[in-house]
Amino acid sequence: MSTIEIKDKKFALSIPESEIQAAVRRVAEDINRDIADKNPLFICVLNGAFMFAGDLMKTINFPCEITFIKLASYDGLYTSGTVKEIIGLNESVVGRNVVVVEDIVDTGITMERILESLRAKGANSIRVATFLQKPDALQREITVDYVAMKIPNDFIVGYGLDYDGYGRNLKDIYTVIE
Ligand code: IMP
Ligand code: MG
């Protein structure tokens, strides 16, 4: 099995690129089917979702806009429970149909914050597309419309997700082993 080291941790390959790409394509095709006529605004949540958003958007085949917000909640391996807004939204979402594009829904605290904020800003409809979800870690009642892959409650890196800033560039997903 292929393993890597990042800082003080070892990680083992858990989801290869081919599976990731197939799962992302499935989500994009579902979105193409569902909202092609809704002139949506995609909102990519930086930093983690940059790779998912990049691949996803290549398969989206209707007119749409994409913009970016930046939040941070993780401190090393653990979610800190507080969500910091580092770059906010420039576009108006009043009356818009938005799709939040996230790397992972873990506890759901970050997504709850984003959804509250978009509702308060007057979005007409809000959908959530996440690359990964850890169903066993969910602590908030949020609806996730599109999930590429569900994973166990283990810490992972790769495909945009980091350990202490590193590992985002990996094209496969790795799970922490020690
Ligand atoms: P939540 O607020 O607990 O749902 O956490 C969401 C954020 O934590 C995600 O957007 C990720 O950036 C980060 N995160 C959650 N789980 C992991 C993981 O296993 N590896 C790296 N980052 C993670
Ligand atoms: Mg994130």
Give tens-digit pLDDT for 98-133. 999 999 999 999 999 899 999 999 999 999 999 999
Provide block-wise average pLDDT over 10 residues at a time, the chain (178 residues): 94 98 98 98 96 98 96 69 76 96 95 92 97 96 97 98 97 96
Strands 65-75 and 125-133, sheet pairing = unpaired
Lookup: tokens for 136:
């066993």
Asked if residues 95 and 119 have their Cβ atoms less than 8 Å apart, the reply is no
Question: What whole-number distance in Å separates Cα of residue 103 and Cα of residue 112?
Answer: 14
User: Collapsing DSSP states into helix, strand and coil, what is residue 114?
Assistant: helix
Predicted pLDDT at 134: 97
Cα-based torsion angle of the residue sequence 18, 111, 70, 30 in order, rounded to the nearest 10 degrees: 40
Question: What whole-number distance in Å separates Cα of residue 29 and Cα of residue 95?
Answer: 24
Ligand nearest to the backbone CA of 49: 2
User: Collapsing DSSP states into helix, strand and coil, what is residue 60?
Assistant: coil
User: Collapsing DSSP states into helix, strand and coil, what is residue 29?
Assistant: helix
User: Collapsing DSSP states into helix, strand and coil, what is residue 31?
Assistant: helix
Catalytic residue, chosen from 75, 106, 154, 172, is 106
Question: What whole-number distance in Å separates Cα of residue 42 and Cα of residue 35?
Answer: 11
Predicted pLDDT at 126: 97
Q: How large is the angle between the packed helices 17-35 and 50-59, nearest 10 degrees?
A: 60
Domain annotation for the chain: domains and CATH numbers: 18-149 (3.40.50.2020)
- pTM of this prediction? 0.94
Question: What whole-number distance in Å separates Cα of residue 168 and Cα of residue 130?
Answer: 16
109 lines ligand 1 (CB under 6 A): yes
CA of 162 to the centre of ligand 1 (A): 9
Please give the radius of gyration of the chain, using alpha carbons only, rounded to the nearest integer: 16
CA of 140 to the centre of ligand 2 (A): 16
Residue whose entry in the numeric block shows the structure tokens 């197939």: 22
Decide if 106 is catalytic.
yes
73 lines ligand 1 (CB under 6 A): yes
Phi, psi at 146, each rounded to 5°: -130, 125
Predicted pLDDT at 71: 83
